Amino acid sequence: MKTSIKSLICAFFLSTAIIFQASADDKDSKKVTAFGTGIYMTSAGKLHVSIDKFNTKATVIQVENEKGEIFYREVTGKHVTKLRRSLDVSTLPNGSYTLNVMSDGQKQSRKLELLEKPSQRLISFR
């Protein structure tokens, strides 16, 4: 009987320690981000960027090609908390681009690939 009570108490303390350790690991893995982004492309060649900031730091949005040439750059004010932009990328030459959103030392990047649509040829027999 003493052995089973000791085993039960030991198992209780072991499971409690594991639960608390798992809870501490979850808190460490959740980093607070400075901003959230939503980025999507329309069929008309427009890139829509939505930013929700959670800090009072300036935010930088930029589009650059693979050579590092910047095609678009915008710096928002410190107190702007929501930002919505529609960028017309249909005029950019074909190639690989990167959209960077930076604020408070954090950076989110998305790769863009702009390619020509192949033309279609319609043939009909009569």
Domain ranges for the chain: 35-114
Q: Token pair of 50, please?
A: 């939505």
Q: For residues 41 and 86, give the distance between their C-alpha atoms in angstroms, rounded to a whole number.
A: 9
Report the distance separating Cα 47 and Cα 42, nearest Å.
Answer: 7
What per-residue string of b and e applies to 26-61 under the rule 16 or more CB within 10 Å gives b?
eeeeeeeebbebeeeeeeeeebebebebeeebebeb
What average pLDDT does this structure show over 60-67?
Answer: 92
The tokens of 36 are what? 């959230």
State the Cα–Cα distance between residues 61 and 56, nearest whole angstrom. 16
pLDDT digits (tens, 9 = 90+) for 18-35: 665 655 444 444 556 778
Whether 62 and 74 have beta carbons less than 8 Å apart is answered as yes
pLDDT band at 114, cuts 50/70/90?
confident
How high is the pLDDT of residue 16?
A: 60
CATH 1.10.3720.10, domain 35-114, yes or no: no
